[in-house]
Amino acid sequence: MTEFPPTALCVSITSVAAERQVAVRDEHQDQSDPFYKKYTERMRWFDLLNYDRTCGISSVLNKQFLGTPSSFDSNSEAMEMSTPHLSLSKQTKKRLLRSLESDFEIVYVAQSCLSWEALQYQYTKVKALAESSSQNGVFYGNVVGEFQKFQVLLERFLEDEMCEGKRIWNYVRGRFALKSLLQVPQISGFSEEENVNVKGEAIGVKEVLKAIERCVDAFGKFVRADNKKPAWWKLIKNSLLWTYPPLEDPRDLEILCSLNRNLQKKELWLKDLQGKQRCWLKKVLNPVEESQRKEILFTMMDMKLVSRVLQMYTISSSQLKWCLEKLDNIEFKEGKVFRVCSSTVEETVSHLSSISTLFM
């Protein structure tokens, strides 16, 4: 993690105020669900980092809240603003702002990966119920409503982003203001059969599954819309000058090159399958083809997140290892794609912990 001058951060108010800012909304969270408990803990940690760095950038830019420009590159005036409490040269201030932006990127990428794992877990959990003897069971509480809220917030974020700047800044501002953004809801209140003695509306398993599927589609659009591309002048600069990738350990250069080749190869294979999928959609899908359609969608999101990690300002050895494992778990055989997923709750919790550790 990047170190900063203490004066550039609002450390003195973080411990109390930040906890209040990032408190999880659901006061009735089921502590018996180890996965969701771990998920909320990890999301909260990055919310604290977001709050802390927001204070830091507010201090540097002499602003009270995160009203920062969408891009430092396009706003040199902001970097030259006078800061009463800091005696920093222009170059030092620029480096500090870049470091803060790097940590905001960590918040965005980490929470995107965590929420995708949580969404997959909730989908798999409800799908298993829908395909078992519990398919006639019901959920009590506003489960569908919570997932609809998750979907709507993502869709509104994408609509607003069309007239905004960088994805990173849009996200950290949105998450700072509203912790529901990208926060996957908890699934609770399941009963094998409808009970007239239980208060609240009973919602069928299949209806909940459809709500989660709509969230998966919305998350897919969210991931696909994140096109982090360098400015045109950077492309020219990179084509004229050889620059090493931003690796923490230069010895990982060969691993990074191999990863990029493997990613590009699997992206081409996936694109070929997506072309076949469009042919499937022209006719009624049978269960096998429908299952493969979901695998294609889930694989696409896995690969998009791997690609996003490989575009970060600085890439660590552990992040490269995670990307390598993620790609190794994707196989293409006989015109189909297969993913290796965690089979137990313990494995899934462990996987969730490993993701957050990558960015800490």
pTM greater than 0.85: no
Stronger pLDDT, 28 or 49, i.e. the higher one:
49
Stronger pLDDT, 129 or 277, i.e. the higher one:
129
* pLDDT over threshold 90, residue 139: no
Percent of the chain having pLDDT more than 90? 42
> What ranges do the domains of the chain cover?
244-360
Q: Which of 20-29, 126-135, 228-237, 274-283 has the highest mean pLDDT?
A: 126-135
* pLDDT over threshold 60, residue 265: yes
Q: What is the pLDDT of residues 51-90, one digit of tens each?
A: 988 887 777 665 444 444 444 444 434 444 444 444 556 7
* pLDDT over threshold 70, residue 296: yes
Closest CA to 245 of 259, 256, 234: 256
Count of C-beta atoms within a 10 Å radius of residue 181:
18
φ/ψ (deg, to 5) at 315: -115, 125
Distance CA 268, CA 255 (A): 20
Average pLDDT of the residues in 27-35: 64
pLDDT band at residue 360, thresholds of 50, 70 and 90?
Answer: confident
Q: How many CA atoms lie within 13 A of 218 on its CB side?
A: 24
pLDDT for 61? 63
For tokens 């990738």, name the residue: 245
Query: SS3 for 334?
Result: coil
Q: Are 352 and 114 in contact (CB under 8 A)?
A: yes
